[in-house]
Amino acid sequence: MTHVCDGCGATVDAAHLQERIRRLERATRFRPLHIHTLLLLETPPPEPASDFYAVAGQAEEQGQECQSFTEASAGGDLTSVVARAIHVSREGKPRDEVLAAIQRAGMFVAYARECPQSDAGASSPPSAGEVQKLLLRARFSYKPKHVVALGARLRATVEALKQAGFAAENCAGPDEGSFAQSLGEALRRTGIA
Ligand SMILES: [Zn+2]
Give residue 8 CA to ligand 1 midpoint distance, Å. Answer: 4
The answer to pTM > 0.75 is yes
Q: Structural domain tally of the chain?
A: 1
Residues ≥6 apart with Cβ < 8 Å to 21: none
- Can you name the residues that pair with 110 across neighbouring β-strands? 40
Find out whether 175 and 182 touch, Cβ atoms under 8 Å.
no
* Among the listed residues 173, 183, 186, 27, the one whose alpha carbon sits nearest the alpha carbon of residue 108: 27
pLDDT of residue 118: 76
Give residue 153 CA to ligand 1 midpoint distance, Å. Answer: 20
Give residue 36 CA to ligand 1 midpoint distance, Å. Answer: 27
pLDDT of residue 175: 86
pLDDT of residue 76: 52
- For the chain (193 residues), the mean pLDDT of every run of 10, in chain order, is 91 94 96 98 91 69 41 57 90 89 97 86 84 97 98 96 98 90 96 93
Alpha carbon distance 42, 126 (integer Å): 7
Backbone angles phi, psi at 159, to 5 degrees: -60, -45
The tally of CA atoms less than 13 A away on the side-chain side of residue 89 is 3
Q: Name the CA radius of gyration of the chain, rounded.
A: 16
Name the residue range of residue 77's domain.
Answer: 3-190
Angle at 22 between CA 81 and CA 72, to 5 degrees: 30
* Residue 58: CATH number of its domain: 3.40.470.10
Q: Residue 176 is which amino acid?
A: E
Give residue 115 CA to ligand 1 midpoint distance, Å. Answer: 5
pLDDT of residue 189: 96
Angle at 146 between CA 39 and CA 143, to 5 degrees: 90
Find out whether 108 and 192 touch, Cβ atoms under 8 Å.
no
